Structure 1
Amino acid sequence: MSGSTVTHKTTAASERAGTTRDHPSLAPTRAARELGLRRDEFNLAVLLGRIRTMPGDGGGGRRVPRDEIDRIRAADGFPERLRAEVRTVGTTEGAALMEVTGARLTRLARLGLVVPVKFYVNRYRTVVWLYLAEELSQFKHDERNAALLKGRAPEGLRDQLREGLDLRPRNWRGRQLGFLLRQADDPWARAAAVASLLDADDVSDVVDDPHERLHLLGLRPTPAAHGSPASPAARLAEEITTASGPDEIAWLRSDLAEAVESARRQSPVPRPHSMPPEAERPTPRETARPGRLSGLLDRLRRRDS
């Protein structure tokens, strides 16, 4: 009996050691489970830089190193502290946390004083903004913000609100770009991160080489789904995720041009003989979504044949 127990323990220990030795990284679903996080919480933790990831072998998805899992699990306050860092709240819950009205929190967000970290489109086709609970708590306890939490807002800020100022979409895009650049592993991935926030026409204007555009499309991060494709919810989400306003568009176009030029110097895109550089530029509809990549490739090849 004891011999069987010893054998079982030894075998189990060997299996654990083999798992660590043969598979030094974990897929996101397995990593989230070991860290006690829901998948959406895990994804946000990665974006925030709380969990370090690495590219998968053979071009697969990103993975989490085993030693990163061990580091996080060994930290003080695990898992409560990690969950607190990725906790998100909507307007009602966030306002209660800050001890203000929902209308005041919305005004603070429209002015860009607090920045949303996520959003979704509900069944009424209304955009619901989500904030990091930890950031709202920090804003509340910062003495410099006391005047913004009580009483009337300064006249200048009230004027901006009356004029329709709403920085939530733009601030979300800026934050999202920071998230994507943090995960970019090479110069083309960095360029693709910038391109993901631009309209297809703008990307085509800046990147006039079709091979490079195809390469960027293949590297663009997959956006979160908001309803079925072409649905009102999806169109509304696309408006939020695409740069608007001349200054923002100009800034991103300039960043994209610089990122692509750097990528060209460091790692030129291979040119298949069947796809000459003078191939026609894709239409905006074709470049708008990564799912059309294969169709665009076929069209270019037919043109060349």
Structure 2
Amino acid sequence: MSGDTITTPHGRPFTPSRAARDLGLRRSDLDLAVHLGLIRTVPDEGGGGGRRVTRSEIDRVRSAQGFPESLLARVEVVGTAEAARLLDVPAGRFTRLARLGLVVPTTWYLNRYRAVVWLYLAEELSRFAADEENVPLLKARRMPEGPRALLAAGVDLRPRNWRGRHRGFLLRQSDGLWGRAGAFAAFLDPAEIATAVPDPFERSHLNRFRPGPPVTGAPGSPTARIAERIMTADDADEVGLLRTELTALVREAREARPAPLPTPRRAPARPRPLAPPVGGPKAPRGLLGRFRRRPAAAKAP
């Protein structure tokens, strides 16, 4: 890879695509590095929205020891089959460990059958396998009674754990108190948001900072419904925690910078009545007017 860096007009920060090319990364690798806080971004002050990567940040990442291999190792993600191989357990046992929340997914996608595919950081799985305290979970013939009872009850903490990780990402990207409030509101349904933020003007303002799911689809489509379901907290204690945090952040945001009130609509101006002509009716113009203005001919004697 060349040591030259791409420059942007007027010294503006790089778009994510340009930054990925300059760092020699795939765009998905850069996005995940940003998601994990490994690469810092700044708001796009050019009015285009989104985030950008500064030249100094690109230089910092490139100067790290072992770049790019060291960075790529930290953003490597694997699915269930590869994760089970890394832990040296059957795929079924790995799925049970993930459902119990012992390993945390970092991202997900929908396959062509609209099934959710969870992905895990290979680096975190290697650390989990190396921890001696986890040996009974990995090597015992049967899992302990407590975890088995939870699994039998249908526990699945993968969506909740992913939401916790994604919330950290949104908070790192947020700007100001309203932005932080929006990061918490992103995981609540509208009814819970209305309970935490009863003022309709504040809710309208908050929605400007409320991110949507990372996987989107046409409104009302199966993809959109699945993404919304995974994004929305459904456990009572998780909902309570999010709602409490949202209420506190909106209170702080209100004191620091109140939500703007809507501008009242002005009534349309009433047309002014036409003023009556001054000095009586005007003489007709044009050829007909000239004929009408000619003096009458004298009568013959």
TM-score where L is the length of structure 1: 0.81
* Shift, 1:68, TM fit: 0.5
* Shift, 1:22, TM fit: 2.5
Matched, 1:205 2:195: yes
Residue equivalent to 1:22: 10
Q: How does 1:227-242 map to 2 (within 5 A)?
A: 227-242=217-232
Q: How does 1:1-305 map to 2 (within 5 A)?
A: 19=7, 22-59=10-47, 60-151=49-140, 152-274=142-264
Report the count of equivalent residues.
260
When you count helix as a share of all residues, which structure comes out higher?
A: 1
Letter in 1 for 2:244: S
RMSD between superposed Cα atoms in Å: 1.9
* Shift, 1:201, TM fit: 1.1
> Unaligned 5+ residue runs, structure 2?
266-301
SS, match of residue 51 in structure 2: coil
Given that 1:20 and 1:66 are in contact with CA atoms closer than 8 Å, whether structure 2 keeps it comes out as: no
The structure-2 alpha-carbon separation of the partners of 1:228 and 1:24, relative to structure 1 and needing over 3 Å to count, comes to closer
* Shift, 1:118, TM fit: 0.6
* Shift, 1:214, TM fit: 1.9
Worse overlay, 137-146 or 224-233? 224-233
Distance (Å, rounded) in 2 between the aligned partners of 1:222 and 1:127:
17
Letter in 1 for 2:256: Q
SS, match of residue 109 in structure 2: strand
* Shift, 1:235, TM fit: 1.1
Which has the higher relative contact order, 1 or 2, with Cα contacts under 8 A spaced 6 or more apart?
1
SS, match of residue 188 in structure 2: coil
> Unaligned 5+ residue runs, structure 1?
1-14, 276-305
Worse overlay, 108-117 or 51-60? 51-60
Cα shift readout 1:246-268 (whole Å, capped 9, x = no counterpart): 11111111111011011111111
Distance (Å, rounded) in 1 between the aligned partners of 2:170 and 2:84:
29
TM-score where L is the length of structure 2: 0.82
* Shift, 1:24, TM fit: 4.5
* Shift, 1:272, TM fit: 2.7
Distance (Å, rounded) in 1 between the aligned partners of 2:179 and 2:12:
24
SS, match of residue 69 in structure 1: helix
Distance (Å, rounded) in 1 between the aligned partners of 2:5 and 2:92:
53
Which protein shows a greater Rg? 2
Distance (Å, rounded) in 2 between the aligned partners of 1:255 and 1:269:
18
Given that 1:53 and 1:62 are in contact with CA atoms closer than 8 Å, whether structure 2 keeps it comes out as: yes
Distance (Å, rounded) in 2 between the aligned partners of 1:177 and 1:64:
21
Percent identity at matched positions? 57
Cα shift readout 1:41-67 (whole Å, capped 9, x = no counterpart): 211111111001111115532111101
